[in-house]
Structure 1
Amino acid sequence: MHLTTMPAPNWQAKVAHAFSRAAQRYDALASAQRQIGETLWSSLPPSADNILDLGCGTGVWTQRLATQFPQAHVTGLDIAPGMLAHAQARYGHHIRWQQGDAAALPFERSTFDLVFSNLAIQWCRDIDRVMRELQRVLTPGGQVRLTTLLPGTLAEVATAWQRPEALLQTPNAQALERAVALSGLTLVDRITEWRRFYYPDLTAVMASIKGVGAQVARPKARLTRRELAVARERFETLRDPQGLPVSYHCITLHLEKSS
């Protein structure tokens, strides 16, 4: 099966470019993303026939879904062609790899009975459209299991930089719940939590962010050498015995489409 691609508007194109560039080193640096995803994984239903991994990245979770549900048809969708090419080269053609935007899913109505999405939809600027699209492509009785990020994520980095506008701006929990309600989906359960990860120095912190594509070019986002030195000093004031902290404010949602 061939990789299916599509053009992307400006913001989506920037996100796609950043993650495509990160594809080769993503898995080596995505320890935080993997640990957060394990919590989501533990909530999966016992069976599924048609599964979408929304924002599949390098395909790690997509392959696990295919192994967990060996009789299911599994599709991995991502906006970044570089990620998809890496996934397809690693895991092969038994999974359908599809480029696409979560706010305009390239699938027919009632296609999937399970959508899995780990730390992807925070990159979507129109969360209302994302939820409507999820409702559209789910079969009656279909389920969504997703994690995304809330405001406060990477707060330590924002403090060190003194440039919070350079970081990704995410909707809050109330906006997410509103989008779910407007879509017609049912919010079965939600869990919000803070997850903190530690790094030996600022270089490792920045590698963990850049290395997973999580820094899209924005106006005034680039630091000078002097500003970087000052940022390093600020970050050091936050150090504790485990290292430099980086916080992720996560929400896990269990959604269903009424039968």
Structure 2
Amino acid sequence: MSTTATSPPPTNWQASVAHAFSRAAPRYDALANAQRHIGETLWSTLPDTAGMRLLDMGCGTGYWTQRLAVRYPNARITGLDIAPGMLAEAQARFGNHIRWQLGNAESLPFAAETFDLVFSNLAIQWCRDIGAVMNDLHRVLAPGGQAHLTTLLPGTLAEVAHAWQRPEALLQTPDRDELARAIDHSGLTPIHQHVERRTFHYPDLNAVMASIKGVGAQVSRPNARLTRRELKAARERFETLREPPGLPVSYQCFTLQLDKPL
């Protein structure tokens, strides 16, 4: 696993995200059911051939990175993540035939025109500067290269926000217009865009919270913790939303294919 000496030091937000996901790494795969299902939709958009240099941006424990290595056996695969714990888990599981790189999507530690294809499943919603993400994607993609991404839009985890009555405690994501402006300014060309609401069900509030905390999707924020009384009220509010399969948790998923013009 390598790091880049010229990478800028992480901001407090980046450090918090890295810490949350590093802590989640040992149990991430056991709890990432929603993330896997959403990723399968992105996987289906990939081309049959993809050049020789591929990046999994926000690779986590390496699940998709390893699948990329199998799907494109002649390519050189790099998995990048902001969380050292995730990269350690990935390296221990899949070894060194994949390059594991510490870094973040707002300041990619790679030279210009390094990759022919970038894959990123549910990572860029954690970035505070989506314009920097798109600009750096444009920079590291070779002419004619593609980026296949999923991210989350506002409305994600709306049921949890309703139960907590504290939407500010959840991840705040860029809206579709903000993403469109960032893409346009970057010089990338949107080839495919698809918005879909995906709902998953859990037996109780404890399972809901385990699914969120267990995949690192809850970063400490001021006033994020609930008192015992507030937790009881949150459980009661969530129960009013119960559906036959269980308590619903919704993700507003935005799937994108972006091309860098020749």
1:3: how far off?
3.4
SS in 1 for 2:150: strand
Determine whether 1:52 maps to 2:58.
no
| Pairs within 5 Å for 1:54-69 | 54-69=57-72
Determine whether 1:9 maps to 2:8.
no
How many residues are treated as equivalent by the alignment? 258
Aligned-partner Cα distance in 2 for 1:181–1:189: 14
Unaligned runs of 5+ in 2: none
**Who is 1:71 aligned against?**
74
SS in 1 for 2:233: helix
Aligned-partner Cα distance in 2 for 1:195–1:21: 26
Aligned-partner Cα distance in 2 for 1:193–1:219: 31
State the superposition RMSD in angstroms. Answer: 0.8
What amino acid sits opposite 2:3 in the alignment? Answer: T
Kindly provide the CA deviation profile for residues 163-213 of structure 1, in whole angstroms up to 9, marking residues without a partner as x: 000000000111111100000000111000100000000000000000000
Identity over aligned pairs, percent: 72
Kindly provide the CA deviation profile for residues 15-42 of structure 1, in whole angstroms up to 9, marking residues without a partner as x: 0000000000000000000000000000
Determine whether 1:252 maps to 2:250.
no
| Pairs within 5 Å for 1:138-157 | 138-157=141-160
Aligned-partner Cα distance in 1 for 2:42–2:198: 13
TM-score, scaled to structure 1: 0.98
Aligned-partner Cα distance in 1 for 2:76–2:196: 32
What amino acid sits opposite 1:12 in the alignment? Answer: Q
Aligned-partner Cα distance in 2 for 1:61–1:175: 27
1:4: how far off?
2.5
Aligned-partner Cα distance in 2 for 1:188–1:240: 36
1:55: how far off?
0.3
Runs of 4+ in 1 over 6 A off after TM superposition: none
Q: Is the 8 A contact 1:3 1:85 kept in 2?
A: no
Kindly provide the CA deviation profile for residues 128-159 of structure 1, in whole angstroms up to 9, marking residues without a partner as x: 00000000000000000000000000000000
Determine whether 1:84 maps to 2:69.
no
Aligned-partner Cα distance in 2 for 1:194–1:9: 31
SS in 2 for 1:20: helix
TM-score, scaled to structure 2: 0.97
Aligned-partner Cα distance in 2 for 1:84–1:229: 37
Aligned-partner Cα distance in 2 for 1:27–1:162: 29
